[in-house]
Amino acid sequence: MTKLRLQLAQLALLLLLAPVAPFAFGAVTAPAAQIAPLPKFVATQPATAPLPAAAVPAAAASAADSLDLNALKEELKATKAIGVLTKLSLKNQVDDLLQQFRDHHQGKATVTLAELRRSYDLLLMKVLSLIQDADQRLAAEIIASREAIWGLLADQQKISTLDV
């Protein structure tokens, strides 16, 4: 039972480390009458280009200082919006992504930081799509923490200190 709790705790943290470009779909081609209004927690400003790799840790440094990964992890673990099997599947995906980040920082992988960002964004989008209707508050917290989490992952020193 303790091993399962530890795995769920790790899953929750990993879910927080997963990236999502919240609803940055590009240009809309459908008539305005056919487009459903965005939920209140979704940013309505156009997506911006990703920051250069050198600027990411500096931009996220202040947000990362106030980021409480443990609290977010506990909220993800406790949410009823995601089933247990889905949480386990997401945990495996997060583990794989974290390993890709570690390999990238150690020079073992040929994957670029831009490709890792795309994977991060897709995984975060998946998490948000699972929880946005049932737990809007948690979805908003994840969206607000998105860049701070990316800052932890993109920084070689910070990712080595993560306890996951």
Domain chopping of the chain, boundaries: 2-19+51-161
CA angle 102, 149, 86 (to 5 degrees): 80
Summary mean pLDDT of the chain: 73
pLDDT band per the 50, 70, 90 thresholds, residue 12: low
Among 41, 12, 19, 18, CA closest to 134: 41
Asked whether residue 36 carries a pLDDT value surpassing 70, the answer given is no
Average pLDDT over residues 128-155: 93
Higher-pLDDT residue of 117, 31: 117
Q: Among the listed ranges 41-45, 66-70, 116-120, which one has the minimum average pLDDT value? A: 41-45
Asked whether residue 142 carries a pLDDT value surpassing 50, the answer given is yes
pLDDT of residue 160: 82
User: 43: which 2 tokens?
Assistant: 């940013």
Name, in order, each residue with C-beta under 8 angstroms of 84's C-beta and a sequence gap of 6 or more: none
Cβ pair 158, 105 in contact under 8 A: no
C-alpha to C-alpha distance for 47 and 21, rounded to whole angstroms: 8
In eight-state DSSP terms, residue 53 is T
In eight-state DSSP terms, residue 18 is S
pTM: 0.60
Residue 145 Cα to chain centre, angstroms: 8
Residue 8 Cα to chain centre, angstroms: 17
